[in-house]
């Protein structure tokens, strides 16, 4: 039954190809055969015993097998390589058939090779009526023969083809001949004065005029002839267009084209050219398979969804009774089981579903304990064996996710960069939509927490002194060793930003944790061997009232007091350092090395030298000190009533003596960050950072696993005008970016793919928010599931998370409070995509009538045009056939829709075939516009305009709307990356020796940079000359840092001002292009010159002659020469000279840029000066860009317009399109080359509107 059903579907699919747009033999096939075949295989001549002029002869043997394209000999003969002797037509007997002509013949055969009864073909290759034309051709050309023989034949003949060009075999019929395009190239280079070469004999005026005038007149006739012969090729949707169209039609965001073969590039580098978009029989099978998969996703088969949902909450000791140690094998760093809890909350939906529970008992025969393999059957019980987290430090609020490190080249798989966590999931769905919800917040910003050199405070707001002596142990009893805690209560007088300091009794070697209120958490590591008396800990905001302060340490606490200080104002009166400056952007304070620091406090007077040159802190001013009790069992808890006003305060610890302990200070929150400090002799104070406090009672909490050497804590109010307060405000605007990835475990790490979405995390620590990600799980590298494999580490899915850095500081941590995973979760049931197909109808119980309504809704969208009643009835008949076979209404509709999605009417863009003699229809215009500017199907507004016949007359308004639409980014991405060959970057392997900071993250940004720049020009309707040079670069934070530009604090690309010295601006200085045009070891002026000549100034150099040896890069003598000197050696060879004259001047000015597009060091050998054939001298890229904009603007405009037009119409342009190209260029110049005007001129030209 299955075989029969597949055959039925295939038959219906073939019927679809015939029914809507059948091949017209008389109009489409007959002209091809008569032009190219019948002269040798007709009634008067049967070369090779083959005749093709009648149906009888055509069907003899295997020449044509109706409906069997692959078995038809004719297809083989017309598809051979152009230099193959068996090619039809044979070389020299006419042009080979174009791909569109071959495609038409293949389609005709597939449709049954129908031939009108009694029709015989005639020889139309050259009829007797053409004899006079032939004589005129010979008469015209004989005037040119002596000139061509004298100046051209010597270098462009059968034995010698300089510039890969031969003239002696070119068709002498300049109008109707097959080589008109090549004669146009001859005319072009004569007009430009490039031929004959300067060192050869030159044309006299009479010869030049004869040659130019004759070629110009005849080729103008050739243009007119070919305007009626240019045929529009049926354009298959390329892979991107196919994927986008399925997504927009069905409402299912999935990578449907992932298994399709890569699209081929056209000669211009585009993937949307009809000539290169072939369809194989295997590809057609894939289309039907993908269409069925797409319909299964759009219309799930289940009557109600089966939903699996689990949640994992994180928190220090959140699950205290659970202390089982899991194993993960080598390199596993699992979160302790008592620090997370797995539950299965019921899904919250108002429709009926089945709740699939996780399996909570497993039996394995093999596993790991550390790095050792364990044999034997073991039973594992509990949900924590079904889902468990790997990597990440857990604190009271949740799991800390630090910004990840750089992605290194060649490590897209493996473990990924550091700074990630992952859930290891044993029980997971194999397909379907999944939703991941992450409850997250930002962690405290640790920018300020660096080794500082501040004196103890004077007149602090509050000081905690004489710390209470009361034993206490940290609540996290899961630790192998208890942490020692100091806790005190602090009364905050007013809201604000505070600096927190501590006086230490001894040096510290270990983590110090501090909490004050709920606003700060730090885990500070202080290295052994240092002496520190006062330790500024933190700047924090406090609110008026009681606040608790707690410190812990590894050993017995030796703190003396805390000091809470309001920081000095900007006027500097309360600062005692002699030199203070503000760092750009950071708003931090810089102190010179060895500056004298003086202070007075209860401890007495102190004078010392600043050891570290930079600090973020000013000297605390003793607004409040809090004495700490002498701790027992390494714990201090202290509560105090903070009476200060609303504001920002600095919290400091004062140490009383040396100690070999780490110190942790918390203000009503938990530890989050490990920081390294190195205290040196003469330093007396340690600042943790800024905290925000509001008035009232606060709890101070300091803890460590060693003795606590804190003598005092100082909390200092920061003036609202102080630069630290401004810096805190700046850092309050910092945030994190969360990006999940899904993959599986491998022996060498993990294979993974990130989700497309990246969520900005801006929620504060005390108010986490839930961020949701939705995707299809089968779109990721899942483990090869084998239920027989009883290894504990087999069949594991990884759901991981990165905190993606977004600025050079990489300092914003985030806290994951919980993670939810839900499969088959739909907002409504039936799903929205289901309702998109099965529309609401009063006829839903009448299956035949309902099927017709469904088709009436679906077919116009799928075919992107009006569907006639006759066509609708025919499709309804197809549905009846399928339904009678399946006896299942939903399944029959899905199968019919799948066949529709595999038919030529869906797979090909709605453009007519044939020569350019009439205008596109409104629906054809809607499709051409949408696939040009959006790379997807027309939306409802375009459909409506086409249906109403108003699209063409309101073109300007539609263009404005389409360009402003986010879908226009598809245009920018595809056009710019293909025009400029950005994908070439993937083919260059950069040698680590020359990488200069280049890594996978930089490479990923490089890929986005070029089309982000183009999109900026598009969205702002700027002049396309900005692509050559601009006063800005379009970069993200990574590339701004890589190029040495002003900071960009965003993952997104944005325009950043550049100066002349930056040597950026425009696209030709983009690092991705410069890297792609290097050797991977060295810059390459040849590659860069060829690229610029071809892509930017429409002057592609000829191909290099064969067998020209390259220079030996390993030659030590060669290494002593500059690139310019090396090229001169190469150019001195006769075979290379002419080509390099057209390449080197464009490439040498790039020599200031290294392999990866950075500016070379002055010490390197750089020779970026050159002279153009017109005598213009330029040195470096800035001067080259000025030359392009002053003297070559027309070439730049012409190049962009030709490439843009080629992309817009989906075919290569030729000399026959030259008049329209020039008209668009004229419009462009009148608009000062603004991009919107150029696009408008293109879409209003006959080039775009006619077929």
pLDDT in tens, 49-99: 788 878 887 777 678 888 787 778 888 888 877 666 677 777 656 667 777
| Segment 608-614 mean pLDDT | 28
* Cα distances (Å, whole numbers) of residue 919 to 28, 407, 925, 953: 19, 52, 9, 14
For residue 340, pLDDT beyond 70: yes
SS3 1221: helix
By 3-state DSSP, what share of the chain in percent is helix, strand and coil, each rounded to 5? 35, 20, 45
Beta strands in 616-723 (DSSP E): 624-629, 638-639, 648-655, 663-667, 674-677, 691-693, 696-704, 706-707, 710-718
Residues linked to residue 818 through DSSP beta bridges, in sequence order: 313, 439
SS3 1142: helix
pLDDT, position 436: 96
Which comes out higher in pLDDT, residue 54 or 1030?
1030
SS3 628: strand
Q: How confident is the model at residue 1042 (pLDDT cuts 50, 70, 90)?
A: very high
For residue 890, pLDDT beyond 50: yes
Q: Which two tokens stand for residue 943?
A: 């459909």
* Cα distances (Å, whole numbers) of residue 505 to 320, 608, 822, 899, 1037: 34, 18, 53, 81, 43
Q: Which two tokens stand for residue 62?
A: 């295997």
**Listing from the earlier edge strand, what are the strands of the sheet with 589-590?**
581-582, 589-590, 614-615
Residue tagged 């390199």 (tokens) = 331
Q: Which residues contact 92 (CB under 8 A, 6 or more apart)?
A: none
Comparing C-alpha atoms, which of 1135, 1134, 1132 is closest to residue 1124?
A: 1132
Q: Hey, what's the torsion of the CAs at 683, 685, 688, 693, to 10 degrees? A: -160
- The answer for 749, left when phi > 0, alpha when psi is -120 to 50, beta otherwise, is left
User: Using CA atoms, how far apart are residues 928 and 920, in angstroms rounded to an integer?
Assistant: 9
Which comes out higher in pLDDT, residue 131 or 101?
101
| Segment 108-113 mean pLDDT | 82
Comparing C-alpha atoms, which of 728, 792, 476, 735 is closest to residue 587?
A: 728
Strands 306-314 and 354-356: parallel
- Label residues 796-823 b or e (16+ Cβ within 10 Å = b): bbbbbbbbbbbbebbbbbbbbbbbbbbb
Cis peptide before 89 (omega within 30 of 0): yes
Q: Are 861 and 946 in contact (CB under 8 A)?
A: no
Cis peptide before 196 (omega within 30 of 0): yes
Q: Which two tokens stand for residue 721?
A: 């005008």
User: Using CA atoms, how far apart are residues 62 and 79, in angstroms rounded to an integer?
Assistant: 16
Which comes out higher in pLDDT, residue 998 or 1051?
998
Q: Which two tokens stand for residue 680?
A: 């040196």
SS3 419: coil
User: Using CA atoms, how far apart are residues 718 and 728, in angstroms rounded to an integer?
Assistant: 10
Question: pLDDT tens, 187-233?
Answer: 777 776 777 877 778 888 777 777 777 777 777 776 666 655 555 66
Which comes out higher in pLDDT, residue 149 or 240?
240
Q: How many CB atoms lie within 10 A of CB 1142?
A: 18
- Label residues 76-86 b or e (16+ Cβ within 10 Å = b): ebbbeeeeeee
End-to-end CA distance of the chain: 45
- Domain limits, the chain: 2-110, 128-227, 306-445+734-829, 462-599+612-717, 919-965, 984-1015+1025-1189, 1192-1249
Beta strands in 556-657 (DSSP E): 561-564, 581-582, 589-590, 596-601, 604-609, 614-615, 624-629, 638-639, 648-655
Q: Which two tokens stand for residue 536?
A: 């500024």
Q: Which residues contact 410 (CB under 8 A, 6 or more apart)?
A: 1000
pLDDT, position 568: 40
H or E element in which residue 247 lies: helix 239-250
Proportion of the chain above pLDDT 90, given as a percent: 32
| Segment 682-703 mean pLDDT | 58
Name the CATH architecture for the domain at 306-445+734-829: Sandwich (2.60)
- Label residues 111-122 b or e (16+ Cβ within 10 Å = b): bebbbeeeeebe
Question: pLDDT tens, 517-542?
Answer: 654 444 554 444 333 334 445 555 56
Which comes out higher in pLDDT, residue 239 or 498?
239
Task: With 0.95 as the threshold, say if the pTM is over it.
Answer: no
The sign one gets for the Cα dihedral 77, 82, 84, 90 is: positive
Q: How confident is the model at residue 307 (pLDDT cuts 50, 70, 90)?
A: very high
* H, E, C per residue of 1169-1184: EEECCCCCEEECHHHH
Question: pLDDT tens, 393-433?
Answer: 887 788 988 887 777 665 444 445 556 888 989 889 999 99
- List phi, psi (to 5°) of 794: -90, 160
Which comes out higher in pLDDT, residue 720 or 109?
109
Residue tagged 């992107």 (tokens) = 864
Q: Are 232 and 914 in contact (CB under 8 A)?
A: yes
User: Using CA atoms, how far apart are residues 1090 and 920, in angstroms rounded to an integer?
Assistant: 37
Q: Hey, what's the torsion of the CAs at 181, 182, 186, 191, to 10 degrees? A: 20
Residues linked to residue 1055 through DSSP beta bridges, in sequence order: 1034
Chain centroid to CA 867: 38
Q: Are 68 and 109 in contact (CB under 8 A)?
A: yes
Burial classification of residue 520, based on how many CB atoms lie within 10 Å of its CB (0-12 exposed, 13-18 middle, 19 or more buried):
buried
Farthest CA pair distance, the chain: 121
Q: Which two tokens stand for residue 819?
A: 């993670």
Question: pLDDT tens, 1136-1164?
Answer: 555 667 788 898 899 999 999 999 887 77
Which comes out higher in pLDDT, residue 585 or 978?
978
> Which range (2-11, 516-525, 804-813, 1044-1053) has the least confidence?
2-11
Which comes out higher in pLDDT, residue 1158 or 110?
1158
pLDDT, position 975: 97
Q: How confident is the model at residue 616 (pLDDT cuts 50, 70, 90)?
A: very low
User: Using CA atoms, how far apart are residues 1158 and 327, in angstroms rounded to an integer?
Assistant: 46
Q: Which residues contact 136 (CB under 8 A, 6 or more apart)?
A: none
Q: Are 471 and 632 in contact (CB under 8 A)?
A: yes
User: Using CA atoms, how far apart are residues 316 and 50, in angstroms rounded to an integer?
Assistant: 86
User: Using CA atoms, how far apart are residues 727 and 584, in angstroms rounded to an integer?
Assistant: 11
Q: Are 563 and 626 in contact (CB under 8 A)?
A: yes
For residue 129, pLDDT beyond 80: no
* Average pLDDT in the chain: 75
């Amino acid at each position: 039954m299955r075989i029969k059903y597949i055959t039925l579907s295939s038959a219906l699919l073939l019927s679809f190809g015939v029914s809507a747009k059948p091949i017209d033999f008389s109009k489409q096939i007959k002209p091809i055969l008569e032009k190219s075949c019948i002269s040798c295989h007709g009634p008067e001549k049967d070369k090779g015993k083959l005749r093709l002029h009648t149906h009888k002869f055509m069907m003899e043997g295997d020449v044509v097998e109706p409906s069997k394209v692959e078995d038809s000999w004719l297809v083989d003969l017309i598809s051979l390589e152009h230099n193959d002797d068996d090619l039809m037509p044979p070389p020299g007997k006419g042009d080979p058939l174009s791909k569109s002509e071959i495609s038409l013949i293949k389609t005709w055969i597939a449709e049954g090779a129908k031939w009108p009864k009694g029709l015989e073909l005639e020889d139309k290759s050259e009829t007797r009526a053409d004899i006079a034309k032939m004589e005129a051709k010979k008469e015209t050309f004989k005037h040119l023969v002596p000139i061509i023989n004298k100046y051209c034949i010597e270098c462009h003949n059968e034995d010698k083809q300089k510039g890969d060009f031969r003239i002696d075999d070119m068709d002498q019929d300049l109008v109707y001949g097959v080589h008109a395009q090549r004669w146009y190239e001859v005319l072009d280079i004569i007009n430009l004065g490039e031929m004959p070469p300067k060192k050869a004999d030159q044309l006299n005026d009479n010869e030049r005029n004869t040659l130019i005038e004759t070629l110009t007149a005849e080729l103008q006739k050739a243009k007119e002839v070919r305007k009626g012969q240019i045929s529009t090729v049926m354009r298959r949707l390329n892979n991107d267009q196919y994927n986008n169209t399925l997504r927009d039609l069905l409402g299912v965001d999935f990578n449907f084209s992932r298994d399709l073969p890569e699209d081929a590039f056209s000669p211009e580098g585009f993937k949307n050219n009809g000539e290169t978009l072939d369809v194989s029989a295997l590809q057609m099978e894939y289309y039907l398979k993908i269409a069925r998969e797409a319909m299964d996703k759009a219309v799930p088969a289940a009557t109600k969804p089966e939903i699996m949902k689990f949640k994992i909450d994180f928190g220090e000791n959140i699950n205290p009774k659970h202390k089982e140690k899991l194993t993960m094998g080598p390199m596993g760093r699992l979160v302790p089981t008592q620090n997370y809890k797995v539950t299965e909350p019921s899904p919250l939906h108002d429709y009926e579903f089945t709740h699939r529970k996780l399996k909570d008992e497993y039996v394995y025969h093999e596993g790991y304990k550390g790095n050792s393999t364990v044999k034997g059957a073991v039973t594992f019980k509990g949900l924590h064996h079904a889902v468990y987290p790997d990597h990440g430090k857990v604190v009271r609020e949740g799991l800390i996710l630090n910004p990840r490190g750089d992605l290194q080249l060649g490590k897209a798989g493996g473990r990924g960069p550091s700074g990630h966590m992952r859930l290891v999931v044993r029980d997971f769905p194999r397909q379907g939509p999944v939703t991941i919800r992450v409850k997250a917040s930002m962690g405290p910003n640790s920018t300020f927490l660096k080794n500082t050199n501040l004196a103890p405070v004077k007149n602090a707001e509050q000081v905690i002194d004489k710390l209470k002596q009361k034993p206490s142990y940290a609540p996290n009893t899961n630790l192998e060793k208890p942490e020692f805690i100091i806790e005190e209560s602090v009364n905050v007088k007013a809201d604000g930003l505070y600096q927190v300091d501590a006086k230490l009794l001894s040096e510290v070697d270990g983590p110090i944790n501090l909490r004050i209120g709920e606003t700060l958490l730090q885990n500070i590591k202080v290295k052994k061997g240092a002496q520190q008396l006062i330790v500024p800990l933190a700047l924090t905001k406090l609110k008026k009232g009681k606040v608790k302060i707690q410190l812990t340490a590894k050993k017995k606490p030796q703190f003396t007091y805390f000091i809470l200080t309001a920081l000095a104002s900007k006027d500097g009166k309360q600062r005692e350092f002699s030199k203070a400056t503000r760092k750009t952007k950071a708003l931090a304070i810089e102190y010179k090395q060895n500056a004298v620091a003086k202070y007075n406090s209860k401890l007495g007077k102190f004078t010392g030298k600043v050891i570290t040159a930079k600090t973020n802190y000013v000297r605390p001013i003793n607004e409040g000190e809090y004495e700490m009790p002498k701790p027992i069992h390494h714990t201090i808890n202290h509560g105090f009533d903070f009476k200060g006003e609303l504001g920002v305060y600095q919290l400091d610890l004062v140490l009383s003596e040396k100690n070999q302990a780490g110190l942790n200070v918390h203000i009503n929150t938990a530890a989050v960050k490990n920081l390294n400090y190195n205290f040196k002799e003469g330093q007396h104070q340690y600042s943790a950072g800024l905290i925000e406090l509001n008035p009232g009672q606060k709890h101070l909490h300091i803890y460590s696993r060693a003795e606590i050497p804190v003598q005092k804590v100082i909390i200092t109010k920061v003036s609202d005008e102080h630069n630290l307060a401004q810096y805190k405000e700046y850092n309050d605007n910092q945030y994190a970016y969360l990006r999940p990835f899904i993959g599986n475990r491998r022996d060498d790490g993990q294979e993974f793919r990130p989700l497309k979405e990246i969520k900005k995390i801006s929620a504060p620590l005390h108010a986490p928010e839930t961020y949701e990600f939705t995707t299809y799980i089968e779109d990721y590298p899942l483990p090869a599931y084998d239920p027989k494999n009883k290894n504990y580490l087999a069949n594991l899915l990884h759901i991981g998370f990165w905190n993606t850095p977004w600025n050079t500081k990489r300092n914003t941590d985030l806290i994951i409070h919980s993670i939810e995973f839900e499969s088959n979760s739909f907002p409504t049931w039936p799903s929205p995509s289901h309702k998109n197909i099965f529309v609401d109808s009063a006829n839903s119980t009448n299956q035949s009538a309902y099927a017709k309504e469904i088709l009436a809704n679906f077919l116009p969208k799928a075919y992107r045009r009006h569907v006639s009643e006759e066509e609708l009835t025919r499709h309804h008949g197809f549905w009846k056939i399928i339904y009678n076979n399946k006896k299942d209404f939903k399944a029959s509709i899905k199968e019919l829709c799948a066949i529709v999605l595999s038919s030529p009417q869906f797979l090909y863009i709605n453009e007519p075939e044939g020569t350019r003699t009439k205008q596109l229809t409104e629906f054809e215009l809607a499709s051409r516009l949408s696939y040009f500017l959006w790379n997807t199907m027309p939306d409802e507004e375009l459909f409506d305009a086409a249906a109403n016949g108003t699209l063409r007359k309101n073109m300007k308004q539609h263009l404005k709307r389409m360009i402003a639409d986010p879908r226009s980014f598809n245009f920018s991405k595809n056009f710019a990356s293909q025009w400029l060959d950005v994908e070439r970057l993937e083919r260059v392997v950069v040698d680590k020796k020359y990488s200069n900071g280049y890594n996978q993250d930089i490479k990923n940004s490089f890929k986005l940079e070029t089309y982000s720049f183009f999109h900026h020009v598009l969205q702002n309707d700027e002049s396309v000359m900005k692509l050559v040079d601009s006063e800005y670069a379009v970069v993200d934070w990574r590339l701004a840092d890589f190029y040495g530009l002003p900071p960009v604090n965003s993952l997104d690309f944005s325009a950043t001002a550049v100066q002349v010295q930056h040597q950026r601006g425009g696209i030709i200085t983009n690092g991705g292009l410069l890297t792609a045009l290097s050797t991977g070891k060295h810059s390459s002026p040849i590659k860069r010159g060829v690229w610029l000549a071809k892509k930017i100034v429409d002057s592609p150099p000829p191909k290099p002659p064969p067998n020209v040896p390259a220079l030996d890069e390993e030659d030590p003598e060669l290494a002593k020469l500059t690139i310019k000197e090396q090229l001169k050696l190469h150019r001195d060879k006769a075979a290379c000279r002419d080509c390099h004259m057209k390449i080197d001047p464009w490439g040498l000015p790039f020599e200031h840029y290294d392999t990866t597009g950075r500016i070379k060091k002055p010490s390197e050998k750089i020779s970026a000066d050159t002279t153009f054939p017109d005598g213009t001298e330029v040195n470096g890229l800035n001067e080259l860009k000025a030359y392009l904009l002053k003297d070559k603007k027309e070439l730049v405009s012409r190049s962009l317009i030709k490439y843009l037009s080629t992309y817009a119409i989906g075919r290569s342009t030729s000399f026959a399109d030259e008049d329209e190209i020039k008209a668009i260029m004229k419009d462009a110049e009148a608009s000062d080359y603004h991009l919107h005007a150029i696009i408008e001129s293109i879409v209003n030209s006959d080039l775009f509107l006619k077929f």
